[in-house]
Amino acid sequence: MAEKVAKVFALTIPSALEEMERVRAFVEDATRRSGFDEELSHWIDLSVNESAINAIVHGNRQDPGKTVFLQITTNDHAIEIIIEDEGAGFEMCDVPDPTNIENILRPSGRGILIIRSFMDEVDLSKSHSGGCRLRMFKRIGDQDPL
């Protein structure tokens, strides 16, 4: 095993879409310092982007008094991303399948599908504050993960 020392990156933001620039910079810094290539970095960025927007808009309803917590943990073999909001909860199964013919022309509802397509594991649970805790996990090598 070349390296199994984890790097942990964390950011807490107010629930405002203007904060997405900071989220982008945070992900860029994490992927660069983890030594990931451009393609992997792009899909991590997209997954964090989608889940952070969900947390701000659907979780915290853009309430500036509530925060979103982001954590990216990486080593040579895996990536774990955790996004927590302080909202009222969100059920992934409540999102209609955007690929169904009756939903295909809807303008929204594709974020979770995109995340699931890239990640190996996507779990939703309750955060300490009672909001949502989204955990995404991706293996990037053949070795033991995190």
Partner 1 sequence: MNLVITTRRLDDVLVLDLSGRITMGEGTLVLRNRIRELLLDGNSKFLLNLADVSYIDSSGLGELVTSFTTVRNQHGHLKLLNLTTRVHDLLQITKLLTVFDVYTSETEAVKSLR
Backbone angles phi, psi at 80, to 5 degrees: -125, 130
Tell which one of 14, 41, 98, 129 touches partner 1 (CB under 8 A): 98
Which of 61/126 has CB closer to partner 1? 61
Phi, psi of 93 (to 5 degrees): -75, -10
Q: How far is the CB of 103 from partner 1 (least distance, A)?
A: 10
Integer Cα distance of 16 and 39 in angstroms: 28
DSSP state of 118: H
Based on the shown chain and the rule CB under 8 A, indicate whether residue 124 belongs to the binding site for partner 1. Answer: no
Among candidate residues 89, 96, 94, 93, the one with its CA nearest the CA of residue 125: 89
Residues in the interface with partner 1 (CB under 8 A) total 20
Q: Does 104 bind partner 1 (CB under 8 A)?
A: yes
x/- letters, 31..70, toward partner 1 (CB under 8 A): -----------x---x--xx--x-----------------
In sign, the C-alpha dihedral spanning 47, 15, 92, 9 is positive
Number of CB atoms found within 10 A of residue 20's CB: 15
- Please report whether residue 108 would count as binding partner 1 according to CB under 8 A: yes
Residue 82 near residue 68 (C-beta atoms within 8 A):
no
Residue 50 Cβ, how far from partner 1 at the closest point, in Å? Answer: 6
Told to check if 99 binds partner 1 by CB under 8 A, we report yes
Shortest distance, position 11 Cβ to partner 1, whole Å: 18
Using CA atoms, how far apart are residues 6 and 105, in angstroms rounded to an integer? 42
Residues forming contacts to partner 1 in the complex (CB under 8 A) are 17, 20, 42, 46, 49-50, 53, 98-99, 104-111, 113-114, 117
